[in-house]
Amino acid sequence: SQQGEEDPQALSIQEGENATMNCSYKTSINNLQWYRQNSGRGLVHLILIRSNEREKHSGRLRVTLDTSKKSSSLLITASRAADTASYFCATDSSNTGKLIFGQGTTLQVKP
Amino acid sequence: NAGVMQNPRHLVRRRGQEARLRCSPMKGHSHVYWYRQLPEEGLKFMVYLQKENIIDESGMPKERFSAEFPKEGPSILRIQQVVRGDSAAYFCASLDSGRSTDTQYFGPGTRLTVL
C-alpha cells in the first residue's frame, strides 16, 4: 500500500495566495522530504524534516511534521506563477535511505 | 560540481528490444538509487546500489530488469525484452554516505517509450 498519500491531488490558486499541501503516511519514519517536479522534468529537493523535528522553514516554504498523526504539511507563502509544479512528499523508513513517494499534488498558480 | 547525470534523456525502443539507462552520480557519491515514475504517478523505488554491490532490489521486477554499479563508470539499469508497460520515466538519485538523514540528489531522468 502507498506509504505517502497527499491531498489535495490538485490545487489552483492566484498568485500571492498561500498554498498548503498535506501528506499522510502509515509507518514510522526516519525523515520526510518534499520535492518539486516541473512538468516533464526531474525532481528538485525542497526540504527534509527529521522525525524528531516538528517544523522547518526554508525561504517561502514551511514544513510541519506530526508523528502522532503520521502527517506533514507543506506551506508555500506568497505563491508565484513559477511555483506551478507537482509536489511530492517522500518518507524514509528504512536503514538504507530508500524513499517512498506519495502520488503528488499538482499546484497551479495563476498570474 | 556537476549534478547527477543520466543518459540518454529520451529513449525509444520497440517491443522485444533492450533498453540501457545510465546514471553517473554526483562526484564523490557512492550510493545510487533507481526509481520509476509511471505517467501521472509518484516515483516508485526499484533498487539501491553501492559500488559493485546491490544492497536492496526489493522494488525491481524479478524478470527482465537488472542493475549494476561497477567500480568504474556509471550505474546501468538494463531492461531486456521491453514491453509497452515499461514506458515510464526512470530516475536515479545519489547520495554520499548512505545515511538516512542525508539528501538524495536526483538526475533529470530518462524517458523510455516502448512502441
Confidence (pLDDT) at A4? 66
Higher pLDDT, A62 or B40: A62
Chain A residues in contact with B55 (beta carbon < 8 A): 96
pLDDT(B38) > 70: yes
List CB contacts of B6: < 8 A, sequence separation 6 or more.
B21, B22, B23, B24, B90, B91, B92, B107, B108, B109, B110
Q: Which of B97, B86, B91 is nearest to B109 (CA)?
A: B91
Confidence (pLDDT) at B98? 56
Mean pLDDT along residues B45-50: 95
How close does chain A come to B23, measured CA to CA in Å?
A: 13
Interface A:B, Cβ pairs < 8 A: 69
In eight-state DSSP terms, residue A41 is: S
pLDDT(A2) > 50: no
Of B56, B93, B108, the CB nearest to A96: B56
Chain B residues in contact with A102 (beta carbon < 8 A): 42
Q: Which residue of B has its CA nearest to A34?
A: B103
pLDDT tens profile A58-105:
999 999 999 999 999 999 999 999 999 999 999 988 878 889 999 899
Confidence (pLDDT) at A110? 96
Of A35, A45, A95, the CB nearest to B100: A95
Confidence (pLDDT) at A42? 86
Q: Is B90 on the interface with A (CB under 8 A)?
A: no
Mean pLDDT along residues B31-36: 96
pLDDT(B75) > 60: yes
Could you tell me which residues are beta bridge partners of residue A66? Answer: A71
pLDDT(A3) > 70: no
